[in-house]
């Protein structure tokens, strides 16, 4: 995460973004987030995947909110701009509650779902999540004829309880498995709602637990909140 309110970081330099994400020659990350000033919102969040492509990052948005508070830009409530439009969020008891955009449509592909929660997500329910080869199975869907041009994030879901899911995600742009994906968790929770589950939905990912709450009217979802903690790990400087 970079405080780029002075525009000191050149976001057109995609090589620097790739270098920052490199775990051997950079810092190591699944993406780069810039916080910039905006005249109509508290701040603008700009997210880059390691390959330089942009998208909405749900977990990154929660981290951006906590980072903005640490920078003194906001207190406990905010409205900020992301690639898919404006988002509201608030911090309560150490957790960031991020309001996602409404979802009013989805596509059913056999037993699977395609849901856009700011980024496109393919949802596939499985019965042996822990032993699943997520990279191989995810890559097969992501690079299939349907999705190979624009790409798609692939989420493998296993039902844990009446309102609980376990999730593993193959992310486009990263082109590998990530430990947690906020927009993926949101899409998974909504798919569970389509199957009759009642909000809130608890999701267990390798990187930690998240919660998604929503209002549902048939197949339309509003007041969607992605809820979870955001913790600072370290800060430092790097020469690019």
Ordered domains of the chain (ranges, CATH): 2-92 (3.10.310.10), 107-229 (3.10.310.10)
Overall average pLDDT of the 204-213 stretch: 96
**On the CB side of 14, how many CA atoms lie within 13 Å of its CA?**
8
**pTM score, two decimals?**
0.90
Residue 128, pLDDT above cutoff 90: yes
237: confidence class by pLDDT, cuts 50, 70, 90: confident
Confidence of residue 225 (pLDDT cuts 50, 70, 90): very high
**Residue 238: what pLDDT?**
86
pLDDT tens-digit map of 66-79: 999 999 999 999 99
Phi and psi torsions of 55, nearest 5°: -165, 175
Residue 173 scores a pLDDT above 90: no
Beta-strand runs (E) in the chain: 2-3, 32-36, 44-48, 77-82, 85-92, 95-99, 107-109, 112-116, 120-125, 153-161, 164-171, 176-178, 201-205, 208-217, 220-229
Section 116-129 average pLDDT:
96
User: How much is the pLDDT for 55?
Assistant: 87
**Structure-block tokens of residue 92:** 């309560």
- Decide: 3 and 9 in contact? Cβ < 8 Å: no
Looking at residue 30, its pLDDT comes to: 87
Segment 9-36 mean pLDDT: 93
Q: Which two tokens stand for residue 191?
A: 């798919």
User: Would you name the residues annotated as active-site residues?
Assistant: 57, 181
């Amino acid at each position: 995460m970079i405080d780029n309110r002075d525009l000191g970081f050149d976001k057109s330099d995609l090589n620097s973004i790739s270098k920052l994400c490199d775990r051997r020659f950079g810092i190591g990350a699944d993406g780069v987030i810039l916080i910039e000033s905006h005249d109509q919102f508290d701040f603008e969040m700009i997210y880059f995947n390691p390959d330089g492509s942009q998208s909405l990052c749900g977990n990154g948005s929660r981290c951006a909110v906590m980072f903005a508070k640490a920078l003194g830009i906001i207190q406990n409530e905010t409205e900020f701009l992301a690639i898919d439009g404006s988002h509201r969020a608030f911090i309560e008891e150490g957790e960031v509650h991020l309001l996602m955009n409404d979802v009013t449509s989805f596509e059913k592909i056999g037993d699977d779902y395609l849901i856009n929660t700011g980024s496109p997500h393919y949802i596939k329910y499985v019965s042996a999540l822990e032993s699943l080869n997520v990279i191989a199975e995810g890559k097969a869907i992501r690079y299939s004829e349907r999705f190979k041009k624009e790409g798609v994030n692939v989420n493998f879901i296993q039902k844990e309880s009446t309102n609980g899911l376990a999730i593993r995600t193959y992310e486009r742009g990263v082109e590998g498995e990530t430990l947690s994906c906020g927009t993926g968790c949101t899409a998974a929770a909504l798919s569970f709602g389509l199957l009759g589950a009642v909000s809130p939905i608890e999701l267990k990912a390798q990187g930690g637990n998240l919660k998604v709450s929503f209002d549902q009217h048939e197949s339309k979802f509003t007041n969607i909140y992605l809820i979870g903690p955001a913790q600072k790990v370290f800060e430092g400087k790097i020469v690019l």
